[in-house]
């Protein structure tokens, strides 16, 4: 099996699996219980919290566990706009956000907010466009750090720093799902007040996400109940998956730059392999994340190619897996339309992907282009 | 462009012959606190310490905003700032000032230039520097205007022995004296709002604090102890390392409940706490006890009650919060980041067996007579012997009780 769909989800690492197993078999108490079993579960949860906090260069009091990044994004946008958006009604966002942000923005639009979406010009985002779109009436600025469909790295640190200097009241949110554990993500350097993270994109297993909330920033809860996570996210904490995410972060955090180097080499390899196949075009920017590459396969429809590759036990995705094949509009934003957009495949690697796997993929792709019609 | 941190000494600059020992202590404290952030070159001159970040073996350099944040929590520092290092040459100073401060100046409406020329060999006098640099900056930033009385930004140029420095911020330091310069004291840390504040205030005066906490399982829970450990951890950001002593107190509390009049329970308990604290303090070389009491706050904190407590003490008891209102204490607790932890709702030993109607004006002879009704000495010894010690150093993470 050659798994090249790591932007959709990753295989849980052994550390995460054993942490989850331990939490399920030994520390199965409810963290809210007053007795020792409860305390043990709480300590396990808090140690995961601390690991995540350390990785962001912040305190554990700023880390809130959720069920995943979709919930984190919902909580960030709905919660912050509810807390700060009574008078200020404008939200600035990028035009290429993940559905969990974009759909939430649309819901906020229906609730009376004005959303300004900044598009790339000639395939590039300009920091100035974001800064200039912000004003005194803006409550929230949200932009993803790394695009999930093509690996484009948005100028989050520049934009947030410039915006916070001029408009300290604007709450800055970034969806770092595809950046976390791949690029250095430091709350301070990004100048972000809200950061969404996902466990299952970093080998931590599905069912756990994180919202970082900078100290002093208010977010009103979306889910109410027993007051867990300081009342920000009620519901008995998912200790096993949080522990798994913590274990994955602990295992990955020290090697971010080495893995990046390896990913860059793999990407170079992939680029040269793709350039040898007639009709294959690369849609990702050269300076994007090496972990995600969007290609267009010579006009062959994405889904057909995907299933062709699947027959060869090679797994990639058509655009973004979350949108289940539906076109997201992101390629269009980057100027990719028509047949080229219909034939997009997303190849997303990990640092552990081998050059041989890429070669096999390239061969299969070449064969597919030659044999598949449509 | 090279950036450093300038640290201005606090009142220790006024000390006489032993000024050097204060300076050495401060430098040692700063080095210890910054060590984990990278490597630095420290030089001291003219009541100022220069913290110059160096490339480490991996070619990394420390993040100065984090350095500045930590420096702001070290006692003995009156003020500090991030500054840009310039050649002692006006054209270099003006070019770097415009570049280094461009963000700040382009946002501001008014400014002034302030020059300090401690190197009198520098050809321009201070007013000349102000005027000339002001002119350069006005030309570069046409939206700015000069306001010498109430400027939004004060650009400071310091011409010193080896270099000139430009900065636009003078941040207030934590003040006080370097921790360790005033000896050691033992803080009675309950887990409430007041005692961490008391410890912080005494540490500010140069005292290295140890902390003592009493646990009474099953009346108090592990979570309550973890909460106090978390408070200790928070305090280390300011106070440096803290030795934390955890005293098993259940038997003593039960003995008081069983053998002494109910209305004297709290006072006798406090006297016994003091007794244990001073025995451990003596072993640790602590010269005083510190408590978070505030006059009249609760029944055990009336003047009469404190007199009864102090009668059991052979060392000075410092109560820095004594004249403060709760709101003032809370303001400090928020500032030093202990408030959120302090208000976690776990029962502590002070609230176990509290009498319904405690004596507000106890008489010492009555208290002493009541306490003499039972021989506490064996229990005190057992508690001291059973005390556990844990060391907290800055950056040490206690198991949290979120």
The residues pairing with A227 across neighbouring beta strands, listed in sequence order, are: none
- B216 pLDDT exceeds 90? yes
> Among A253, A287, A320, where does a domain finish?
A253
The predicted structure's pLDDT at residue A338: 87
Residues of chain A with confidence (pLDDT) below 70: 319-327, 374
Q: Which domain holds residue A172?
A: 14-253
Confidence band, pLDDT 50/70/90 cuts, at residue B264: very high
The predicted structure's pLDDT at residue B360: 86
> From CA B276, how far away is CA B253, in angstroms rounded?
13
Residues A36 and A150 in one domain: yes
Residue of A nearest to B108 (CA): A166
The predicted structure's pLDDT at residue B189: 96
The predicted structure's pLDDT at residue B241: 94
Please tell me whether residue A267 adopts helix, strand or coil conformation. helix
- Within 8 A by CB and 6+ apart from A259, the residues are A182, A252, A350, A351
Residues A210 and A102 in one domain: yes
Residues of chain A neighbouring B221 (CB-CB closer than 8 A):
34, 39
Residues A146 and A287 in one domain: no
> From CA A195, how far away is CA B75, in angstroms rounded?
33
Residues A186, A210 contacting (CB under 8 angstroms): no
> Are B399 and A43 inside 8 Å of each other by CB?
yes
Residues A247 and A304 in one domain: no
Least confident of A180-184, A328-332, B322-326, B394-398: B394-398
- B399 pLDDT exceeds 70? no
Interface predicted TM-score of the whole assembly (ipTM), two decimals: 0.70
- pTM, to two decimals: 0.83
> Among A253, A276, A300, where does a domain finish?
A253
> Are A60 and B402 inside 8 Å of each other by CB?
yes
CB atoms within 10 A of CB A316: 26
The residues pairing with B262 across neighbouring beta strands, listed in sequence order, are: none
- Within 8 A by CB and 6+ apart from A215, the residues are A59, A61, A62
Residue found under tokens 């519901």: A235
Tell me: the pLDDT tens digits for B21-73? 999 999 999 999 998 888 999 998 878 899 999 987 777 788 888 899 999 99
The predicted structure's pLDDT at residue B402: 42
Residue of B nearest to A229 (CA): B402
> From CA A233, how far away is CA A211, in angstroms rounded?
10
From B209, B345, B354, B175, select the one nearest B285 (Cα to Cα). B209
Which residue did the predictor score with more confidence, B319 or B343?
Answer: B319
CB atoms within 10 A of CB A181: 24
The predicted structure's pLDDT at residue A324: 47
**CATH code of residue A27:** 3.40.640.10
Give the gap in angstroms from C-alpha B399 to the nearest C-alpha of chain A: 7
3-state secondary structure B293-360: CCCCCCHHHCHHHHHHHHCCCCCCEECCCCCCCHHHHHHHHHHCCCHHHHCCCCCCHHHCCCCCCCCC
- In terms of Cβ atoms closer than 10 Å to its own Cβ (0-12, 13-18, 19+), residue B161 is exposed
Residues A173 and A65 in one domain: yes
User: From the list B103, B340, B400, which residue is nearest A46 (CB)?
Assistant: B400
Confidence band, pLDDT 50/70/90 cuts, at residue B397: low
3-state secondary structure chain B: CCEEEEEEECHHHHCCCCHHHHHHHHHHHHHHHHHHHCEEEEEEECCEEEEEEECCCCCCCCCHHHHHHHHCCCCCEEEEEEEEEECCCHHHHHHHHHHHCHHHHHHCCEEEEEEEECCCCCCCCHHHHHHHHHHHHHHHCCCCEECCCCCCEEEEEEECCCCEEEECCCEEEEECECCCCCCEEEEECCCCCHHHHHHHHHHHECCEEEEEEEECCCCCCHHHHHHHHHHHHHHHHHHCCEEEEEEECHHHHHHHHHHCCHHHHHHHHHHHHHHHHHHHHHHHCCCCEECCCCCCCCHHHCHHHHHHHHCCCCCCEECCCCCCCHHHHHHHHHHCCCHHHHCCCCCCHHHCCCCCCCCCCCCHHHHHHHHHCCCCHHHHHHHHHCCEEEEECCCCCCCCCC
Residues A246 and A295 in one domain: no
Residues of chain B neighbouring A188 (CB-CB closer than 8 A):
63, 65-66
Which alpha helices (H) appear in chain A, and where do they start and end? Answer: 14-25, 36-56, 69-84, 99-110, 127-133, 156-166, 187-190, 239-252, 256-275, 302-311, 330-333, 338-342, 355-371
User: From the list B66, B222, B402, which residue is nearest A46 (CB)?
Assistant: B402
User: From the list B107, B400, B402, which residue is nearest A166 (CB)?
Assistant: B107
From A123, A164, A165, select the one nearest A141 (Cα to Cα). A164
The predicted structure's pLDDT at residue A320: 53
Residue of A nearest to B63 (CA): A189
Residues of chain A neighbouring B226 (CB-CB closer than 8 A):
39
Residues A245 and A261 in one domain: no
Residues A262 and A235 in one domain: no
Residues of chain A neighbouring B401 (CB-CB closer than 8 A):
42, 46
Residues A36 and A179 in one domain: yes
User: From the list B66, B340, B400, which residue is nearest A50 (CB)?
Assistant: B400
Residues A147, A344 contacting (CB under 8 angstroms): no
Q: What are phi and psi of B262, to 5 degrees?
A: -55, -40
B217-220: long-range contacts at Cβ-Cβ below 8 A with a sequence spacing of 24 or more? B217/B248, B217/B250, B218/B250, B219/B250, B219/B253, B219/B347, B219/B349, B219/B352, B219/B353, B220/B346, B220/B347, B220/B348, B220/B349, B220/B352
What is the bridge-based pairing of β-strands A90-94 and A114-118? parallel
Please tell me whether residue A317 adopts helix, strand or coil conformation. strand
Please tell me whether residue A28 adopts helix, strand or coil conformation. coil
- In chain B the domains, ranked by start, together with CATH numbers, are 3-174 (3.30.2130.30), 184-392 (3.40.50.620)
A60 near B CB under 8 A: yes
The predicted structure's pLDDT at residue B142: 86
**CATH code of residue A316:** 3.90.1150.10
- Within 8 A by CB and 6+ apart from B155, the residues are B97, B101, B105, B111, B112, B113, B114, B133, B137, B166, B167, B168
A322 is catalytic: yes
Residues of chain B neighbouring A43 (CB-CB closer than 8 A):
399-400
Residues B50, B84 contacting (CB under 8 angstroms): no
Average pLDDT of chain B to the nearest whole number: 91
CB atoms within 10 A of CB A73: 30
DSSP 8-state secondary structure symbol assigned to residue A323: G
A166 near B CB under 8 A: yes
Residues A75 and A198 in one domain: yes
From A336, A335, A320, select the one nearest A99 (Cα to Cα). A320
> Are A166 and B66 inside 8 Å of each other by CB?
no
> Are A39 and B223 inside 8 Å of each other by CB?
yes
Give the gap in angstroms from C-alpha A23 to the nearest C-alpha of chain B: 17
Domain count for chain A: 2
Q: What are phi and psi of A276, to 5 degrees?
A: -85, -10
A254 near B CB under 8 A: no
* Residues in chain B whose Cβ is within 8 Å of chain A: 63, 65-66, 103, 107, 221-223, 226, 340, 397, 399-402
Residues A114 and A228 in one domain: yes
> Are A188 and B66 inside 8 Å of each other by CB?
yes
What is the bridge-based pairing of β-strands B39-45 and B48-54? antiparallel
Residues B174, B238 contacting (CB under 8 angstroms): yes
- B205 pLDDT exceeds 70? yes
Instruction: State in Å, rounded, how far the first CA of chain B is from the last one.
Output: 42
Please tell me whether residue A69 adopts helix, strand or coil conformation. helix
Residues of chain B neighbouring A189 (CB-CB closer than 8 A):
63
CA dist B232 → B235, B251, B277, B386, B400 (Å): 5, 25, 17, 20, 11
From B396, B383, B29, select the one nearest B204 (Cα to Cα). B29
> Among A234, A253, A272, where does a domain finish?
A253
- In terms of Cβ atoms closer than 10 Å to its own Cβ (0-12, 13-18, 19+), residue B323 is exposed
Please tell me whether residue A187 adopts helix, strand or coil conformation. helix
Residues B72, B174 contacting (CB under 8 angstroms): yes
Of B37, B70, B337, B400, which to mutate for an interface test with A (greatest number of A Cβ within 10 Å)? B400
Give the gap in angstroms from C-alpha B66 to the nearest C-alpha of chain A: 9
Residues of chain B neighbouring A42 (CB-CB closer than 8 A):
401-402
Residues A326 and A234 in one domain: no
Of A33, A38, A46, A57, which to mutate for an interface test with B (greatest number of B Cβ within 10 Å)? A46
Tell me: the pLDDT tens digits for B159-176? 988 899 999 988 999 999
């Amino acid at each position: 099996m050659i798994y090249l769909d790591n932007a959709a989800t990753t295989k849980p690492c052994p550390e995460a699996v054993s942490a989850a197993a331990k939490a399920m078999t030994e520390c199965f108490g409810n963290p809210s219980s007053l007795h020792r079993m409860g305390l043990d579960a709480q300590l396990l949860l808090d140690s995961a919290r601390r690991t995540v906090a350390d990785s962001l260069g912040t305190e554990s009091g700023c880390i809130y566990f959720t069920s995943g990044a979709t919930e984190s994004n919902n909580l960030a946008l709905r919660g912050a706009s509810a807390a700060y958006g009574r008078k200020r009604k404008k939200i600035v966002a990028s035009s290429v956000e993940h559905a969990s942000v974009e759909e939430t923005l649309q819901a906020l639009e229906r609730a009376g907010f004005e959303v300004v979406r900044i598009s790339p010009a000639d395939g590039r985002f300009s920091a100035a466009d974001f800064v200039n779109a912000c004003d005194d009436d803006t409550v929230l600025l949200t932009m993803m750090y790394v695009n999930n469909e093509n690996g484009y790295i948005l100028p989050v640190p520049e934009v947030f720093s410039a915006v916070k200097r001029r408009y300290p009241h604007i709450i800055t949110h970034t969806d770092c799902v595809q950046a976390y554990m791949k690029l250095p993500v430091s709350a301070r350097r990004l100048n972000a007040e809200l950061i969404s993270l996902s466990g299952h994109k970093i080998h931590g297993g599905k069912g756990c996400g994180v919202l970082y909330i900078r100290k002093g920033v208010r977010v009103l809860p979306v889910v109410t109940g027993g007051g867990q996570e300081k009342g920000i996210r009620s519901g008995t904490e998912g200790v096993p998956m949080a522990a798994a995410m913590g274990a994955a972060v602990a295992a990955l955090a020290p090697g971010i730059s080495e893995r990046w180097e390896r990913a860059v080499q793999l990407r170079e390899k992939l680029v040269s392999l793709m350039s040898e196949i007639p009709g294959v075009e690369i849609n990702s920017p050269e300076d994007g994340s090496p972990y995600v590459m969007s290609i267009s396969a010579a006009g062959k429809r994405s889904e057909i190619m995907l299933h062709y590759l699947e027959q060869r036990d090679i797994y990639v995705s058509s655009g973004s897996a979350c949108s289940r094949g539906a076109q997201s509009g992101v390629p269009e934003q980057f100027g990719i339309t028509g047949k080229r957009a219909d034939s997009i495949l997303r190849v997303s690697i990990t640092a552990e992907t081998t050059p041989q796997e890429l070669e096999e993929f390239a061969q299969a792709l070449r064969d597919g282009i030659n044999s598949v019609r449509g | 462009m090279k950036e450093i941190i300038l640290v201005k000494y606090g009142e220790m600059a006024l000390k006489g012959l032993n000024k050097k020992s204060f300076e050495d202590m401060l430098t040692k404290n700063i080095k210890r606190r910054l060590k984990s952030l990278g490597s630095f070159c420290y030089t001291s001159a003219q009541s100022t310490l220069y913290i110059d970040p160096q490339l480490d073996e991996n070619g990394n350099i420390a993040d100065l905003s984090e350095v500045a944040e930590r420096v702001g929590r070290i006692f003995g520092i009156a003020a500090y700032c991030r500054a840009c290092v310039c050649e002692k040459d006006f054209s270099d100073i003006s070019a770097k000032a415009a570049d280094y401060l461009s963000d700040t100046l382009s946002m501001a409406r008014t400014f002034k230039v302030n020059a300090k020329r401690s190197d009198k060999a520098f050809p321009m006098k201070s007013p000349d520097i102000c005027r000339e640099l002001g002119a350069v900056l006005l030309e570069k930033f046409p939206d700015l205007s000069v306001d010498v009385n109430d400027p939004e930004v004060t650009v400071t140029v310091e011409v010193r022995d080896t270099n000139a420095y430009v900065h636009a911020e003078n941040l207030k330091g934590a003040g006080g004296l370097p921790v360790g310069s005033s000896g050691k004291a033992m803080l009675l840390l309950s887990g409430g709002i007041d005692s961490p504040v008391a410890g912080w205030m005494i540490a500010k005066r140069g005292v290295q604090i140890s902390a003592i906490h009493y646990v009474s399982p099953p009346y108090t829970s592990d979570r309550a102890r973890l909460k106090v450990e978390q408070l200790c951890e928070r305090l280390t950001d300011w106070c440096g390392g803290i030795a934390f002593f955890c005293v098993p107190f259940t038997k003593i509390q039960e003995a008081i409940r069983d053998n002494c009049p109910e209305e004297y329970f709290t006072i006798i308990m406090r006297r016994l706490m003091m007794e244990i604290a001073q025995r451990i303090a003596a072993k640790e070389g602590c010269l005083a006890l510190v408590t978070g009491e505030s006059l009249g706050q609760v029944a055990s904190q009336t003047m009469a009650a404190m007199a009864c407590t102090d009668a059991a003490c052979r060392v000075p008891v410092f109560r820095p919060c004594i004249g403060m209102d709760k709101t003032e204490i809370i303001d400090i607790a928020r500032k030093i980041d202990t408030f959120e932890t302090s208000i976690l709702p776990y029962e502590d030993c002070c609230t176990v067996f509290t009498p319904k109607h405690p004596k507000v004006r106890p008489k010492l002879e009555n208290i002493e007579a009541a306490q003499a009704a039972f021989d506490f000495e064996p229990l005190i010894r057992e508690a001291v012997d059973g005390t556990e010690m844990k060391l907290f150093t800055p950056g040490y993470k206690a198991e949290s009780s979120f």
